[in-house]
Structure 1
Amino acid sequence: MKILLAKPVTPGKLVLNCIPPLGLGYLVTALRQDGFNQVQILDSVKDQLDYSGFTKVVKKFKPDVIGFQIFSQDLPSLQKSLAIIKKINSKAVTVAGGPHPSGLPEKSLQSFPQLDFVFCGEAEVGFPILLRALKSKRGFGKVPGLGWRDRAGRVHLNQQVFAADLDKLGFPAWDLLRPQDYPDAPQGIIFKNSPVAPIMATRGCPFSCTFCAGWTISGKKIRRRSVGNVLAEIELLYRQYGVREIHILDDNFTLNRNYLKDFCHQLLKKDFQISWCCPNGVRLDTLDKETLQLMKKAGCYYVSVGIESGSDRILRLMKKAVTTAKIKKMVNMVVSAGMPINGFFILGFPGETKQEILKTIKFAKSLELTRAAFYNYLPLPRTEAYRRLIDSGELKEDDIDWAHIFQADVPYAPPSISREGLKNLQRRAHLEFYLRPKIIWRLLKEIRSWQQLRYIFKRTKAYLGG
C-alpha cells in the first residue's frame, strides 16, 4: 500500500512561515513501525507547487491513500486537490487531519463529498489502524479519532485516543523532512544559526484560554517526552543533518520547571553547542530569573510570550488569569535575566472596543519587548469564544471565509469596529511599535543575510496590507 502525506498547494498566497511538517513526520514513523514502508511526504508549500505540479506528483507516485494536513485557509486547495486525486484514481482513499478537521470534523466530511475520512486530533495511534482496516475491509468504528460515513451517509466520530508514552512514538521521519531544505528562519524572521529544525518535547495544554484551539489537537493533559529522548533527537539533528539551531514548538515547554532545568543541565553536558528558542510562546507565570539564566547558559537566546491584551477586562474575557500589572512585572523580570522577549497580542477580540485596542498598543510599547506581533482575532472552531459568537448569532459558521483566515486578513471584527478599521489598527500597532530607534537598531543587529532582509520586507508588506 502506497501512502502520500501532503501539505496542500497554496496558490497565490504569501507564506510567512515555512517549517517542516512535524505532524506528517511523526505519522510516517508510526506507519513504518506498523509495517507500512511505502510512504512519502509532499510539502507543496516548501516545493512551491501549483496544481499542475501536484497532479504530476500524484500520477508518478500512484498512492493508494492520500492524507492531508489541513489548516482552515487550506480548504479551497483541499477541494481542488481532492478532485484531482479522484480524477486520477477514483478508488484512492482521501484523509484529512490537522487543526480544521479537528475543530469541525462533521462539517469537514459534509462539505467535501470526495473526502473519505477525517482525523480529530493526533493520528499516530489511529492512522495505522485505519490502514489495517482498509486492507482487511473491516469496519471503522474502532479507529481512534476517526470521522467516517456509514453506507447511509451518516457521519460518525470515534473517541480520540492520545499516545500515553511519547518516547515510543520515535522521532519524526527526518530522512523525509530534510530540515536543510527549508529556509534559514522557518519559524520567523530571526535566527542565530542555521540550518534550523523544529522539535516538540511536550504535548497538551491544561489552560482554558477562550481563543485557543491547541487542545483540540493534543488534549488538555500534559504529556512529556523524557529529557534523554529529546536530547537524542537534537543530537541526531546536529550530527546527521547539520542542524545548528532548534526551535521548540511546544505550547507549554516551560510549565514544569524541574523538567526544564533537567533539559538545560543535560544539554550543557553535551560535547556540542546548539542555539535554541521558544518561538511559539511560553507562559510568563512559569518563568523565574534563575531558570531564565540557566536557559540562556544552555543556548536559549529568546522566548516568546502570549501577552494578548493591554486591557484587564479583555484578559478576563480571555481567561488568561493574569493582570497587566503582573505582566509588566514579569516582563521586567525576564529582561533583567538577560533574555530577549517577543510578545504576542490579539486585536479585535469579541466585545473589544477601539479604545481597548489603542490601550493594548500603548501597553506593548511600554514593555521592554525585543519584538512584538499583533494578530487579528481568529474565530477558531471548538473554542469558547467561537461557540459564544455562534450561539449569540453574531457569527454564522457558513459565512466565515476560511480561505482568508491568516495573518494579513480580518475574518472577524467586533460590532463597534469595521473590518477595515481593525486592519488599520493592526497596521498602526506594528508601525508604532517598530518605528522606534531602539527597536530598529535591535532588528538591524539581528539580520544575518540578504535572504533574511528580503523576508523582513515581505512580512512587513503583508502586515501593512501591501
Structure 2
Amino acid sequence: MCLVSPISYLREITYKARIMQGGLDVFNAVYMCYNTCMPFKVVLVQITDLERYASTLESYSGFASEKGTPLFGKDEALRFLKRSRGSLVTPYPMGPLALAAFARKRFGSEVELSIIDMLTERLFVEDLVERLKRESPDLVGLSSFSAFSGALHRAAALIKAELGVPVAAGGPYCSASTERAARDPNIDCVAYGEGELSFVEMIDRLMHKKDLKGIPGTAYLEGGRVVVVPHSGFIEDLDDLPFPAVDLLRMEDYFLNLSPLGYLSPWMILFNSRGCPYRCIYCHSIFGKRTRFMSPKRVFDEMMFYYKTYGIREFQVWDDIFNLDVGRAIEVCDLIHSAGSPFRLLFEGGLRADIMRRELVEAMVRAGTCHICYAVESGSPRIQAVIKKYLDLEKAAEAINYTADRGILVNTYNMLGLPTETEEEMYATIEYNVRLRHFSIRLFHAIPQEGTEFYEMVYPKGRDKGETGMYLDHRHEGADSALYRKVLRDGLRRFYLDAERIERISRMQVPTMSPSEVMRAYAMEFRSVFNILGIRRIYELPPGVVGPVMDVFRGGGVAL
C-alpha cells in the first residue's frame, strides 16, 4: 500500500514523467512510482517435511509390534496428514513470529510481513513454492528443525530456480548445523543463535541494495568456503521485545490442536526467559549460557493481551529453566494470582527438579498451574555425570512427589540410549520413575543433535555426519533400537498398569481442572500408551487394572 498522499503522488508522477529520457509514457512513470512506494515484502516460512513426518508416524506405529513391524505404511500416513487439520502436535512457529514482530517494530509500514506454516497448512515443498509465487516476496526466510533440514534445502533450491529472490535460513537447524546449512549455494545468508538483530540487518541491507555479507551472527558461502561472522551480542532487555506477531496467523487453526492433557482449548506458548547456565551434553546453546529474564509485568501483560484479543486462558510455558530464579518465578505467579486472572498454566519446558522449592510450587498452584514437566533424563547417577546434568536424584524425587501431592499433574522427561548407558542403567531410569507418585512419563530415544557435545562424542571427527532427526538408529553404544523398544514397552507397562497409581491419580483434585477433565487427561494418556503397547481390547490388560482403567475412561467420557 502506498503511503504518500494523492497530491504528492501526482506530483511525483509528473516529475518522473518529465525527467524520463527517451519519451517514456506516463504509464511507465506511474509504474515506477508505484514500485517505489511498495513496501519491502518478506515471507517467513516454518519448514516441515510431510514425507519425513509420515515416515515417523509409520515408525511410531511399529512400537505396537514386538518386532517393530509398522501397523500402517508411509502412503497411508501421508493421506492421513493431508486430510487432518488439528489432530497433530503443531506448535506455533515461535521463531518466525518473534522475527516478524521485531522487524515490524523496527521498520513499521516500510516492510510487509507474512508467515507460512507448512505443517499447519499441510504443504509439500512444491506447494510452498507455488504459494510463494503468488506472494511475490523480496526476501524469503526459512526456519527449520534439524529433522526437516532436507526439506529446507529442497525449498531453497526451488525458490532460487523459480523466483530468483534472496533466501535466508535460520532456526534450530541453522543454529546447530551452521556451516552445513551455509554450504548450500541456494541460501544467501544463514542466521544462527538469537536471530532478531541479524534479521533486521538483512532487511535493511536488501532495502538499500546491499549484499548480505558480514552481518554479525550469520554465515555465508564465499569462494567455496563458509564464512561464519561472530555475534555482536545478545538482546539484554527482553522487555523491549514486542509480543509475537500472532496476527499474521490463523489462530483458530492452532486452537484445533489438543492440549497436552487431551482437551480442546484456545492456548498459546509463552517464553519469558532465554538461555540456560547448565551444560548438559545433549542440549543446545542457541540463546547462550547465561539466562536473561523478562520482568514479571512484561510476562503478565503478554498473557493479558492474548486473553483480551483471542480469549486465550491456557498458557504453555516453554522456557529452558523457568525455576532458575525462584524469587522471580514466585513474583510472576503472585502477579497472576493477585490479578484474579482466569488462567491455566502448563510448564512444558522441563523444570529442573533438584532446585525446585516448595514455596514456588505453592505459588504455581495459586496461579493456576495444572501441569508441570520435570526433566530427569536418567535414574543412574553415573549417567547423570556422563551427560553433565548432575541432577541430585533424591532432591528431584522429593520435588516430584511434593508437586504431585499438591494436585499438579506431573510428567517427567527421560532419555534411553545415552552414551555408554547399559541396559541395567536404562532400567534404573524406569525404576526411579516407578517408585514416584507422578502422573505420566516420557521415555525418549536419545538422539544426538549436531552442535552438541553428545553429537561429537558419538561421531568420529571428520565424518560427514549428515542429517539428524527423529527416531534415527544411530547404533552408538547403548542406543540399539530393539533394546530401546524393549525397555520402553517394559517401562510403560510398569508405570501405567499399576492399580495403586491409577486409583491415586483418579482421586486427584487439580485446582484448575474439573474431575472429568482430570479423567479425560488420564484416559488420553492411556490411549497413547495402549497404542505403543499394542493393546486393543480391555481384556488384554492385567486383571487387577481392568476395573480402574474402565472407571478412568468412563469418568473422562472417552470411548475405550
* Structure 2 match to 1:21: 93
Question: Which one has the largest radius of gyration?
Answer: 2
Residue by residue, what CA displacement relative to the aligned partner does 1:136-164 show, whole Å, maximum 9, x if unpaired?
243545422111123x2331111123111
Shift of 1:78: 1.3
Aligned with 1:109 (options 165, 182, 199): 182
Task: Give the secondary structure class of the aligned counterpart of 2:332.
Answer: helix
* Structure 2 match to 1:233: 302
Aligned with 1:423 (options 482, 485, 488): 485
Shift of 1:166: 0.9
Task: Give the secondary structure class of the aligned counterpart of 1:421.
Answer: helix
Normalised TM-score (structure 2): 0.75
Q: Which runs of 5+ in 2 are unaligned?
A: 1-39, 58-80, 82-87, 507-514, 537-560
Task: Give the secondary structure class of the aligned counterpart of 1:305.
Answer: strand
1:316 aligns with 2:385: yes
Residue by residue, what CA displacement relative to the aligned partner does 1:101-145 show, whole Å, maximum 9, x if unpaired?
1111111122x2212211111111110101212232435454221
Aligned with 2:456 (options 387, 394, 414): 387
The Cα RMSD (Å) is 2.8
Q: Is the 8 A contact 1:288 1:334 kept in 2?
A: no
* Structure 2 match to 1:6: 45
Q: Is the 8 A contact 1:6 1:67 kept in 2?
A: yes
Distance in 1 between residues matched to 2:346 and 2:325, nearest whole Å? 17
Distance in 2 between residues matched to 1:210 and 1:434, nearest whole Å? 30
Cα distance change on mapping 1:183 and 1:323 into 2, 3 Å? same
How many aligned positions are there?
452
Residue by residue, what CA displacement relative to the aligned partner does 1:225-276 show, whole Å, maximum 9, x if unpaired?
1111111110010011110101111011111111111111211222531111
What aligned pairs does 1:450-465 form with structure 2 within 5 A after superposition? 457=527, 461=531
Q: Is the 8 A contact 2:321 2:349 kept in 1?
A: no
Residue by residue, what CA displacement relative to the aligned partner does 1:30-73 show, whole Å, maximum 9, x if unpaired?
11122253110101111122334323311110112111111111
Aligned with 2:216 (options 130, 144, 148): 144
Distance in 1 between residues matched to 2:439 and 2:91, nearest whole Å? 23
Shift of 1:449: 7.5
* Structure 2 match to 1:93: 166
Letter in 1 for 2:496: Y
Letter in 2 for 1:116: D
Cα distance change on mapping 1:368 and 1:459 into 2, 3 Å? closer
Higher helix share: 2
Distance in 1 between residues matched to 2:500 and 2:458, nearest whole Å? 40
Letter in 2 for 1:143: I
Cα distance change on mapping 1:456 and 1:369 into 2, 3 Å? closer
Cα distance change on mapping 1:379 and 1:277 into 2, 3 Å? same
* Structure 2 match to 1:345: 414
1:398 aligns with 2:464: yes
Task: Give the secondary structure class of the aligned counterpart of 2:196.
Answer: coil
Task: Give the secondary structure class of the aligned counterpart of 1:46.
Answer: helix
Q: Calculate percent identity across the aligned residue pairs.
A: 26
Distance in 1 between residues matched to 2:119 and 2:410, nearest whole Å? 29
Letter in 2 for 1:31: A
Residue by residue, what CA displacement relative to the aligned partner does 1:322-341 show, whole Å, maximum 9, x if unpaired?
23333223322323433331
Task: Give the secondary structure class of the aligned counterpart of 1:344.
Answer: strand
1:189 aligns with 2:255: no
Q: Is the 8 A contact 1:378 1:412 kept in 2?
A: yes
1:200 aligns with 2:274: no
Distance in 2 between residues matched to 1:193 and 1:113, nearest whole Å? 43
Aligned with 1:66 (options 129, 135, 140): 140
What aligned pairs does 1:264-343 form with structure 2 within 5 A after superposition? 264-343=333-412
Residue by residue, what CA displacement relative to the aligned partner does 1:308-351 show, whole Å, maximum 9, x if unpaired?
11111101111122233332233223234333311010100010
Distance in 1 between residues matched to 2:476 and 2:128, nearest whole Å? 39
Normalised TM-score (structure 1): 0.89
Distance in 2 between residues matched to 1:154 and 1:252, nearest whole Å? 37
Q: Which runs of 4+ in 1 moved over 6 A?
A: 447-450, 452-456
Distance in 2 between residues matched to 1:21 and 1:203, nearest whole Å? 17
1:125 aligns with 2:197: yes
Cα distance change on mapping 1:424 and 1:167 into 2, 3 Å? same
Distance in 2 between residues matched to 1:6 and 1:139, nearest whole Å? 22
Q: Which runs of 5+ in 1 are unaligned?
A: none
Letter in 1 for 2:457: R
Q: Is the 8 A contact 1:401 1:411 kept in 2?
A: no
Q: Is the 8 A contact 1:410 1:422 kept in 2?
A: no
Shift of 1:286: 2.8
Q: Is the 8 A contact 2:218 2:228 kept in 1?
A: yes
Cα distance change on mapping 1:237 and 1:439 into 2, 3 Å? farther
What aligned pairs does 1:156-171 form with structure 2 within 5 A after superposition? 156-160=227-231, 161-171=233-243
Aligned with 1:48 (options 122, 125, 143): 122
Letter in 1 for 2:464: D
Letter in 2 for 1:207: Y
